[in-house]
């Protein structure tokens, strides 16, 4: 997930953060999961959200992108209040979300998955340019262009899901568990590609590629640290 210090001035002559999530409250079927969560994201940052299973990380991302309705709080994106906008509107505004559970369309080819990722781009030449960018980052996807997404390996599906996000050229990428179920070698490869993509789009390159980290516990942000300080802790058990 990409974000700096929380900016609260939204006047037209003040440069705002790309994303500001302020005091978010949300949950499922009457059960509250998020309790006053606030975080921010500036252009040029990669921010990690860390915590134990059930801490609320996925709910936070789904709330920001519009899959989970807010019961309280505000969401500002690119200087505009997006609190009441749905998923489609936020994607058109420049957000992307990569799910941990089902990152690709299994019954569509690799090429069709990528085309779907760029559905907001009307110009065919621009879509083709972005497709070339994805293939430059992930050559295996070009080799498997006609293969069904569901027949790819786990690591290749992760690459494809990231490629779909890149096709939209988002201002903000929300990546839910991008390393889930992958070998260390594949995780390293994918994070190297994220860092390369980030650098190419003006962003600096969990913690070794992030600029800052938010730690969550029981639906709340309990700590915010820069990545160097977080890495220097050595152990995070006291936070979870």
- The full DSSP string for 1-23 is ----SPP----TTSPPPSEEEEE
- Tell the burial category of 142 from Cβ atoms under 10 Å away from its Cβ (0-12, 13-18, 19+): middle
According to DSSP, the residues that pair with 72 across neighbouring strands are 25
> Average pLDDT for residues 173-194, to the nearest whole number?
71
pLDDT of residue 5 exceeding 50, the answer is no
pLDDT at site 30: 87
> Average pLDDT for residues 203-221, to the nearest whole number?
75
Contacts of 138 (CB under 8 A, 6+ apart): 159, 160, 162, 163, 193
DSSP-derived pairing of the beta strands 220-226 and 212-217: antiparallel
Q: Binning pLDDT at 50, 70 and 90, where does residue 63 land?
A: very high
Per the prediction, the chain carries an average pLDDT of 81
How many percent of the chain have pLDDT more than 90? 38
User: Is CATH 3.40.1280.10 what the domain over 1-94+174-180+203-240 is classified as, yes or no?
Assistant: no
Structural contact between residues 213 and 189, judged by C-beta atoms closer than 8 angstroms: no
pLDDT of residue 4 exceeding 70, the answer is no
Q: Binning pLDDT at 50, 70 and 90, where does residue 239 land?
A: confident
pLDDT digits (tens, 9 = 90+) for 167-183: 887 888 888 877 666 66
Q: What per-residue string of b and e applies to 72-109 under the rule 16 or more CB within 10 Å gives b? A: ebbbbbeeeebeebeeeebbebbbbbbbbeebbbeeeb
pLDDT digits (tens, 9 = 90+) for 136-156: 888 999 999 999 999 998 888
Q: What is the pTM of this model?
A: 0.78
Q: What are the tokens at 147?
A: 């293969």
Supply angle C-alpha 173, 177, 179, rounded to 5: 110
> Average pLDDT for residues 157-170, to the nearest whole number?
86
Q: What are the tokens at 209?
A: 């590629």
pLDDT digits (tens, 9 = 90+) for 17-54: 789 999 999 999 889 999 999 999 887 677 888 888 88
**Residue ranges per domain, the chain?**
1-94+174-180+203-240, 95-169
Look up residue 130 and give its DSSP letter. H
């Amino acid at each position: 997930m990409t974000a700096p210090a929380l900016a609260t001035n939204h006047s037209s002559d003040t440069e705002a953060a790309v994303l500001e999530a302020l005091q978010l409250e949300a949950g499922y079927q009457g059960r509250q999961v998020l309790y006053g969560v606030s975080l921010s994201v500036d252009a040029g940052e990669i921010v990690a959200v860390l915590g134990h299973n059930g801490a609320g990380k996925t709910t936070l991302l789904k709330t920001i992108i519009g899959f989970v309705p807010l019961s309280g709080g505000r969401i500002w994106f690119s200087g505009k209040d997006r609190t009441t906008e749905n998923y489609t509107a936020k994607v058109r505004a420049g957000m992307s979300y990569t799910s941990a559970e089902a990152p690709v369309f299994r019954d569509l080819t690799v090429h069709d998955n990528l085309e779907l990722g760029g559905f907001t781009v009307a110009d065919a030449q621009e879509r083709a340019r972005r497709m070339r960018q994805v293939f430059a980052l992930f050559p295996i996807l070009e080799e498997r262009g006609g293969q069904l997404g569901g027949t790819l390996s786990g690591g290749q599906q992760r690459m494809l899901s990231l490629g779909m996000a890149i096709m939209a050229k988002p201002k903000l990428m929300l990546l839910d568990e991008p390393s889930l179920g992958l070998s260390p070698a594949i995780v390293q490869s994918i994070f190297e590609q994220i860092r390369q993509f980030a650098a190419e789009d003006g962003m600096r390159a969990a913690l070794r590629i992030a600029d800052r980290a938010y730690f969550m516990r029981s639906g709340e942000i309990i700590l915010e640290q820069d990545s160097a300080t977080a890495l220097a802790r050595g152990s995070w058990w006291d936070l979870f």
